[in-house]
Structure 1
Amino acid sequence: MIEPPDPVHRGSPEPPETRCPALPVPAALGRLLVLATVFVCAACGLVYELEMVALASYLTGDSVTQASVVLSVMVFAMGIGSLLAKRLRCRAAVGFGALEAVLALVGGFSAMALYACYAWFGQSRSVLVGFSLAIGMLIGAEVPLLMTLIQRVRRQDAGGAVADLFAADYVGALVGGLAFPFLLLPVLGQVSGVLLTGSVNAVAGGGLVLWLFREDLSVRARWALIATNVLVLALLAIGTALVSPFERAARDAVYGSAARIAVRTGVQEVVITGGTDPAATGRARTTRDPVGSAGRGTAQRGRPVPGEGGVAAGKAGGPLGLYLDGRLRASADGSVPYHEALVHPAMAGGPHRRILVLGGGDGLAAREVLRCPGVTSVTIVELDPGVARLARTDPGLSALNGHALDDPRVRVVAGDVFEWLRRGGADARNGGPYDVVIADLPDPGSTASTKLYSQEFYGLAARALAADGRLAVHAGEPASRPLPFWTVDATVRAAGLRTVPYRVPGRFPARTGVPERSCGTARAATGRPACGWGFLLAARRAPRLDLSPDAPALRSLTREGLHSAARAAARTRLPGLPPSTLMHPRHLD
């Protein structure tokens, strides 16, 4: 009979802690406790990972790039951590306890550090990579140490130990992956959620070592681990207590001191700066009142962001600015030239009784539409009902849009514009087909907007048009970002429409470090960002770029200026670009 090989090769020294395991519980229960700790640590590790991806995506708007950076760097670092942990196997209990304390501290404060670097220094990519490396190495070092500890509890073949360990690890990752979007993020927010995760991580790792393997620790090592874990938990508790003032200070650093409303709906973070006289309101408005139940999901309704107390502190003076996930969506300074250029060329050249606005929940496009005579109905399809609710109830924003959403001709539909079009939302039962369709959507070039600038989307939009209908598209800034702009043009034409591009000048950023939809990444000759708005006017037959004779008096747009805008766009043309599709998005740059 052939005897199975020993788990440890003859002649090789065993780690000192594996020779005489002294456990306060039976081996079966001890093994279960180790696997339970693996489960908790895996859940915490995935929360750290998802938190970095989510926060980086909120700050930059490009979730694909951020997820790729975080995941690839963390997996690479986990391999390095596993190799480095081989040196700690001889003191696995002490090593694991110290490792979890450091991981809890680094992971717990990762969100606060990333947001601070973005708010005060205007960049977070290098910090994101640094935290991904550190957290990945610490997570990778867990596996060899846990393998050693589980073998000390009850010796078994390596294959069985690996199977048990990985089963607990993967199930824990599942729980952590589901807890982050459905529990931690909506209830606690990014910063508080990850601080709580760090506390759970420290308690699980420290508790396992200090109780189950307490007899294997020297007195000095035991007290060192106790002091370390107490210090880590105290720091995490202090961080949790300071979340609200930290986020208010960071918000002021990003938006200046004028942030008046900050709220996270079920879709995005919405911040309104300025726009009302502080003396008129008496105090900063709470964020729960204007949004109410507009958020998607019960737990997420009206939760203030970044602050957690329901009040967005800050001065309310200055021109109004509407920021969605940190990017300027609309402002009192730029609203008139942008929306006049988007709306009025499309309203010329044919009937304009029935109007469809895709996006535009701020009511500013509807404001310009309603200024035109002959409009009988306006349908606005907005993904985030919280934005539409603020557009009705916030005094500054509702004044800026001329109370357009209170007009009886206006109907607001909450939903994804792509799915609304695909499911027949623009058919005759819902007021279609439309004389004019206005796509007032987020900038092209971000992952979130991929399907809204695809050939499939424009095919659906074309179906919503009447026979002589026109489509107006905001397509980005052609002077500094010509590739996305002309890719959108090629995509619209691939959907069977003829296009006329034009560009109107924008304004320079009012706040450094805050992305504005009017500005790209390139620099003009002055060294300042090249700022402007690029649009496409599309129809089944070649549209004529003009203004209607019965158009209202416009403050920023003239016929001559419109023709100059067409020449300005033509100078940036990139011919021969393929269209962007759902399966092959091409406008990301």
Structure 2
Amino acid sequence: MTTAQRQQTALLAATFVIAVCGLIYELLAGTLSSYLMGNSIYQFSLVIGLFMSAMGLGAWASRFIENELPQNFVRLQLLVGLLGGLISPILFFAFAVIDNYTPLLVFLTLLLGAMLGIEIPLIIRILKDHFSLKTNLSNVFTADYIGALIAALLFPLVLIPQLGILQTGFVFGLINIGVGILALYVLRENISNKKGLWGLAALITAILITGLVLSSPFTNRMEKRLYQDQIIYSKDTQYQRLVLTKRHERLRFYINGALQFDSFDEYRYHESLVHPALAALPQAENVLILGGGDGLAVKQLLKYASIKAITLIDLDPEVTNLFKNNKQLKALNNNSLENNKVTIHNTDAWKFLEHDQQLYDVIIIDLPDPNSPSLSRLYTTSFYKLVKQHLSQQGVIVTQATSPFYTKDAFWSIVATLKDSDNNEDWYTLPYHTYIPSFGEWGFVMAARHQLKPSTLLLNTDNKYLDQDTLRQSFIFPKDMEATDVEINQLSSHQLLQYYDQGWKHWYQ
């Protein structure tokens, strides 16, 4: 292979790797922002918009680089590797310590995007002596787009579950440095300051390797500032980030930074979720739980001798495995997930319902709050219609429904959506609420084909919190939580997501 051919091959390979690394950095910034700030639509839109705009600006600015193109390309590649590798820990630190996250996100995203935007025009100009313009553009953009596809597949399926956010950034920063070193070697005859670039490459490589080695303790230290309590378990799964904390004997479980339960008062939530529905149908035999991978709703259901089968659907196997195998969590849920009555399916709730043929006496929807489109879709008319198709004639549906105080419009939107999601039958809803210290005022909704009357609901279990008087009071809403005129939640609008975000934003203003 001639020198010219080596340069052509190396630069096209560099284009492929640049595309992979560039999209990985973009996805890292968007994912970390979603984890830390919530509102994933806004965060990803902001990051993608900034990246694309900055890349266009960088491509425009590349015209001002007139001399020493190979040397400038290598230098730029090394600096992109440094910034790309460090962007996640810098943003994490900004959120946890200095409280200046969004301005720094904007600055770093624009800077990194502009640097990435310069690279492709430089490669095209370096290759112009080897290919015609038509072939040159075709080769470069083919490698670029294929690289982006590979990155998009690797990120959710391999990188985040296996490496996590920070380690992924450092690894791809090092890959960027590797491309820079390869280009430095292949283009060495056209580079005047080889020693300076070798020294820069060595320095940045040392920085990124150090960061990679220290990424786990750094993450733990930053998360301690966010969660306050001792972190005893954390993991990035294919779907989400799980964190379990402990203070004395008190456990708290978080998904993507949002509290799912506190062992101090979880019984208030799960007793309120489960027992009113069973009071409406005390002889229920077949129960479906959508979500609830912690096994705490199952724990309450196992109080009923009449129940013969409990089917639990939770998307993430890491969640159910954690609550089946962790000694402290097994003690909390009374090892409920190992009970012979329980069958677990780790799949998407929507897909399960599309293929399942069974009817259930009680369907319990214990899903995280609708704080993203992927979760909001599980609170839509389309989803509830699918749920209703699996309910026996006298059956009861119950769902957690966010807070009727903090997210008032979101709560009543869920009530309206559950009632109006089937035009072929009349459905009746019965909303109720209770106070949970960890969450504040919290709401639930029952639905059935027949009218549910609070006066007919008689509890049949001995509970730690929920008794007959408490249950009766839960159906009474004070004036500041009364029903509002809201829209139902549909796949085409995700109105619920807007209500939810607006409610919490208003509360924290």
**Fold shared by both chains (TM-score > 0.5):** yes
**One-letter code of the match for 1:173?**
A
Q: 1:562 to 1:129 in 2, by over 3 A?
A: farther
The answer to whether residue 322 in structure 2 is matched with residue 390 in structure 1 is yes
Shift of 1:147: 2.3
Match of 2:431 in 1: 501
User: Could you say if the C-alpha distance between residues 488 and 122 of structure 1 is closer, same or farther in structure 2, counting changes exceeding 3 Å?
Assistant: farther
> Do the aligned partners of 1:363 and 1:401 also contact (CA within 8 Å) in 2?
yes
> Pairwise mapping of residues 16-165 of structure 1 onto structure 2 (< 5 A)?
25-121=2-98, 124-151=101-128, 153-154=129-130, 156=132, 158-165=133-140
Instruction: Confirm or deny: 8 A CA contact 1:61 1:447 kept in the other structure.
Output: no
Point out the structure with the larger helix share. 2
Paired position in structure 1 for 2:151: 176
Q: How far apart, in 2, do the equivalents of 1:480 and 1:117 lie?
A: 28
Q: CA RMSD of the aligned region, Å?
A: 2.5
Say whether the 8 Å CA contact 1:348–1:546 is kept in structure 2: no
- The one-letter amino acid paired with 2:130 is R
* Residue identity opposite 1:262 in structure 2: S
User: What is the aligned residue count?
Assistant: 493
Give the structure 2 partner of residue 368 of structure 1: 300
Q: 1:419 aligns with which of 342, 345, 351?
A: 351
Q: Distance in 2 between matches of 1:498 and 1:185?
A: 43
Tell me if the contact between 2:38 and 2:371 (Cα under 8 Å) persists in the aligned partners.
Answer: no
1: distance between equivalents of 2:315 and 2:99? 29
Q: 1:392 deviation in Å?
A: 2.8
Which residue identity is paired with 1:538?
A
- Supply the distance in 2 between the matched residues of 1:336 and 1:570 (Cα, whole angstroms): 27
How far did 1:548 drift? Answer: 4.3
Pairing 1:394-543 to 2, within 5 Å after superposition: 394-425=326-357, 427=358, 433-496=359-422, 497-508=427-438, 518=439, 531-543=440-452
Q: TM-score, normalised by structure 2?
A: 0.89
Percent pairwise identity: 30
Query: Could you say what secondary structure the match of 1:567 adopts?
Result: coil
Shift of 1:170: 1.6
Partner of 1:234, secondary structure, is helix
Partner of 1:581: 490
Aligned residue for 2:168? Answer: 193
**Corresponding residue number in structure 2 for 1:230:** 202
| 1:345-364 correspondence runs (5 A) | 345-354=276-285, 355-364=287-296
Counterpart of 1:378 in 2: which secondary structure?
strand
Distance in 1 between residues matched to 2:479 and 2:306, nearest whole Å = 32
SS in 2 for 1:476: coil
- Partners of 1:64 and 1:115 in 2: how far apart? 19
Other-structure match for 1:554 = 463
Instruction: Report how far residue 365 of structure 1 moved.
Output: 0.9
Amino acid at match of 2:495: R
Check whether the contact 1:62–1:448 (CA below 8 A) recurs between aligned residues: no
- Counterparts of 2:2 and 2:327 in 1: how far apart (Å)? 65
State the Cα distance separating 1:255 from its structure 2 match: 2.6
Residue identity opposite 1:367 in structure 2: K
Query: Is the 8 Å Cα contact of residues 547 and 559 (structure 1) preserved in structure 2?
Result: no
1:531-577 Cα deviation digits (max 9, x unpaired): 22111111112212357435223333344444443333774345443
Q: What is the DSSP-based 3-state SS (H/G/I as helix, E as strand, rest coil) of the residue aligned with 2:475?
A: helix
Change in CA separation of 1:231 and 1:563 when aligned onto 2, cut-off 3 Å: same
| Amino acid in the other structure paired with 1:586 | Q
Residue in 1 aligned with 2:476? 567
SS at match of 2:454: coil
Q: TM-score, normalising length from structure 1?
A: 0.78
Question: CA 1:212–1:409 in structure 2 vs 1: closer, same or farther (change >3 Å)?
Answer: closer
User: Within 5 A, what are the aligned runs for 1:286-297?
Assistant: none
Report deviation, 1:265.
4.1
Q: 1:83 to 1:569 in 2, by over 3 A?
A: farther
Question: What is the CA-CA distance between 1:579 and the residue it aligns to?
Answer: 2.2
Aligned twin of 2:224? 252
CA distance, structure 1, for counterparts of residue 341 and residue 100 of structure 2: 44
3-state SS, counterpart of residue 344 of structure 2: strand
**Using a 3 Å threshold, how does the CA distance of structure 1 residues 140 and 569 change in structure 2: closer, same or farther?**
farther
- Asked whether the equivalents of residues 220 and 231 of structure 2 are also in contact (C-alpha less than 8 Å), the reply is no
- Quick one: which of 248, 256, 262 aligns to 1:317? 248
Code of the aligned partner of 1:350: L
What CA distance in whole angstroms lies between the structure 2 residues aligned with 1:547 and 1:359?
28
Unpaired stretches in structure 1, ≥5 consecutive residues:
1-23, 275-315, 428-432, 509-517, 519-530
CA distance in 2, matches of 1:258, 1:409: 34
CA distance in structure 1 between the partners assigned to 2:113 and 2:397 by the alignment:
48
**Deviations for 1:76-101, whole angstroms, at most 9, x for unmatched residues?**
11111122222213332232222111
Task: Indicate how the Cα distance of structure 1 residues 132 and 547 shifts in structure 2: closer, same or farther if over 3 A, else same.
Answer: farther
2-structure distance, mates of 1:558, 1:122:
44
Matched, 1:217 2:148: no
CA shift for structure 1 position 107: 0.3
Distance in 1 between the 2:112 and 2:482 partners? 45
